[in-house]
């Protein structure tokens, strides 16, 4: 009898793990069954705002691999619309509900891979269950937004929350000709960026025509007689609308694991070692449902990103397949494009550095993405955070026009290696007028950060 691997969740982490395990072990040696409660496998949730905006023409363009590909090419038994509702580690079994008919069955496993992803945070607001109040996490959610747009043709929309997805959806609505209001509890949009960088994002949003209300609480959602949303009430004002998009963030979906006695940690994420093994024998986990180790803060955290999920899934799959691999942690590197701005960050921001015990010094520079005389040279603002005493790089942030944000990868590589800002300022980066000034913005920011460290030393 072959060993049986059951995978809970059919998106990035789960199917990466299943695929890697299959490459190393044939069907005669390892049976793989993947249960996915949704209707799709291995798709790009990050692409949903661009699909809604019409930048991506078709939903299927966001699907990397369909269930039949896993079944036919890799002999992975993918079962859609099947939800794992219970785990019994002692018995080595899971309880699975068929969402088509509601029936439940128990399935035994030798190895269990938990890849349940993240779940949206839905604040306890009166009226939040009304029609026209929509989250954006799955392809099904994206389709519901498109259906609402087609059916109601809203003139006004309110986005609750000012994180990545919320702001990307706000821009998508503006591109569709809808008046957009963003309301958020934070003091600035995209609070993973420092305040001075967030101000630039806020200015760009207002410049695009988005009405922005910060430092407010949503106290209720008004509903019409037909059950459809008619407005959002905050501690500041009432905002009439015909559509509400929730961008209030996510948390690790570690509930199923916790109910089974599998340890969870940061924000409810499943605890794992570097090989993606949970503390419970035979149980593995990867992706947004897990906590991850932050290499700069030196503590566990939760970060929902497809890049991390795919890497963790690959590591788990190699180990499940009999190989050896480890996942060394994250830096929190992220990038997006909103309202004509490219926005990127890696490592720790200024406040985050203080929170975990560093004494930071910061340097912010304004530069251009190309030589200033070259056509279409765009502006870029780069901020570097360094440790006051040693000059060690702690993080970086970029807000720019076209061509600036991917420079964050230089900082990410430097952070990964733990280098000092004085070392970074001498790195031999490429130069030609169409691509960079003689002094690239990365080097200018590193030089200014090192000047700040030296000045502080007296």
| Residue 328 falls inside a structural domain | no
Residues 243 and 264 in one domain: no
Residues 447 and 372 in one domain: yes
| Residue 425 falls inside a structural domain | yes
This prediction has a pTM of: 0.93
Domain boundary among 214, 248, 282: 248
Domain boundary among 220, 248, 276: 248
The pLDDT of residue 51: 95
Domain that includes residue 191, residue range: 133-248
| Residue 181 falls inside a structural domain | yes
CA 349 vs CA 39, 226, 291, 417: distances in Å = 38, 46, 20, 18
The pLDDT of residue 234: 94
Known catalytic membership, residue 46: yes
Total structural domains within the chain: 3
| Residue 127 falls inside a structural domain | no
| Residue 46 falls inside a structural domain | no
Residues 221 and 368 in one domain: no
The pLDDT of residue 157: 97
> Could you tell me which residues come within 8 angstroms of residue 62 by beta carbon, excluding any fewer than 6 positions away?
43, 44, 47, 48, 51, 56, 139
* Selection from 377, 381, 359 nearest residue 442 by Cα: 381
* Selection from 394, 119, 66, 56 nearest residue 267 by Cα: 119
Low-confidence ranges of the chain (pLDDT < 50): none
Residues 197 and 259 in one domain: no
| Residue 182 falls inside a structural domain | yes
- Asked if residues 121 and 109 have their Cβ atoms less than 8 Å apart, the reply is no
| Residue 378 falls inside a structural domain | yes
Give the CATH number of the domain where residue 402 resides. Answer: 3.30.390.30
Residues 112 and 256 in one domain: yes
Q: Name the average pLDDT for the chain.
A: 94
Q: Which of 46, 241, 289, 362 is catalytic?
A: 46
Residue spans of beta strands (DSSP E) within 99-163: 104-108, 111-114, 118-120, 133-135, 156-160
Residues 301 and 344 in one domain: no
Residues 344 and 203 in one domain: no
Residues 75 and 111 in one domain: yes
Domain boundary among 223, 248, 273: 248
Separation of alpha carbons 13 and 290, rounded Å: 11
Residues 9 and 65 in one domain: yes
Question: CA angle at residue 49 from 345 to 153, to 5 degrees?
Answer: 145
Residues 431 and 353 in one domain: yes
- Asked if residues 132 and 226 have their Cβ atoms less than 8 Å apart, the reply is no
Give the CATH number of the domain where residue 23 resides. Answer: 3.50.50.60
Residues 212 and 298 in one domain: no
Residues 95 and 200 in one domain: no
Q: Which helix (H) or strand (E) holds 12?
A: helix 12-24
| Residue 50 falls inside a structural domain | no
């Amino acid at each position: 009898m072959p060993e049986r691997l059951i995978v809970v969740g059919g998106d990035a982490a789960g199917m990466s793990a299943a695929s890697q395990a299959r490459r190393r072990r044939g069907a005669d040696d390892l049976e793989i069954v993947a249960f996915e409660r949704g209707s799709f496998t291995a798709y790009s949730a990050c692409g949903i705002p661009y699909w809604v905006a019409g930048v991506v023409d078709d939903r299927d363009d966001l699907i990397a691999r369909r269930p039949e590909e896993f079944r036919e090419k890799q002999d992975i038994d993918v079962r859609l619309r099947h939800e794992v509702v219970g785990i019994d580690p002692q018995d080595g079994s899971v309880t699975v509900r068929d969402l088509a008919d509601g029936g439940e069955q128990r399935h035994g496993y030798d190895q269990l891979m938990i890849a349940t992803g993240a779940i949206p945070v839905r604040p306890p607001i009166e009226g939040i269950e009304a029609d026209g109040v929509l989250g954006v996490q799955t392809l099904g959610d994206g389709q519901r937004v498109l259906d609402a747009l087609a059916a109601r043709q809203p003139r006004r929309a309110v986005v609750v929350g000012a994180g990545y997805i919320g702001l990307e959806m706000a821009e998508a609505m503006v591109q569709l000709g809808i008046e957009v209001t963003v309301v958020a509890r934070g003091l600035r949009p995209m609070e993973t960026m420092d305040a001075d960088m967030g101000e630039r994002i806020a200015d760009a949003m207002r410049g695009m025509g988005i009405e922005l209300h910060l430092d407010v609480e949503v106290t209720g959602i008004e509903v019409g007689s037909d059950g459809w949303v008619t407005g959002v009430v905050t501690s500041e004002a009432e905002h009439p609308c015909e559509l509400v998009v929730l961008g209030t963030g996510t948390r690790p979906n570690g509930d199923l694991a916790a109910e089974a006695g599998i340890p969870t940690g940061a924000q409810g994420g499943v605890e794992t070692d570097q090989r993606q093994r949970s503390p419970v024998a035979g149980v593995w986990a990867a992706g947004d449902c897990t906590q991850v180790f932050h290499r700069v803060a030196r503590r566990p955290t939760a970060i929902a990103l497809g890049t991390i999920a795919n890497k963790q899934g690959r590591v788990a799959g190699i180990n499940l397949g009999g190989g050896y691999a480890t996942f060394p942690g994250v830096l929190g590197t992220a990038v997006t494009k909103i309202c004509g701005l490219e926005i990127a960050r890696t490592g720790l921001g200024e406040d985050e550095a203080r929170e975990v015990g560093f004494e930071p010094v910061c340097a912010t520079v304004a530069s251009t993405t190309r030589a200033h005389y070259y056509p279409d040279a765009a502006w870029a603002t780069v901020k570097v955070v360094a440790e006051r005493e040693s000059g060690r790089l702690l993080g970086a942030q970029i807000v720019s026009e076209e061509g600036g944000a991917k420079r964050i990868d230089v900082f990410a590589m430097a952070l990964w290696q733990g280098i000092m800002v004085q070392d970074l300022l001498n790195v031999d980066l490429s130069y030609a007028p169409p691509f960079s000034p003689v002094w690239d913005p990365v080097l200018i920011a590193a030089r200014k950060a090192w000047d700040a460290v030296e000045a502080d030393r007296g």
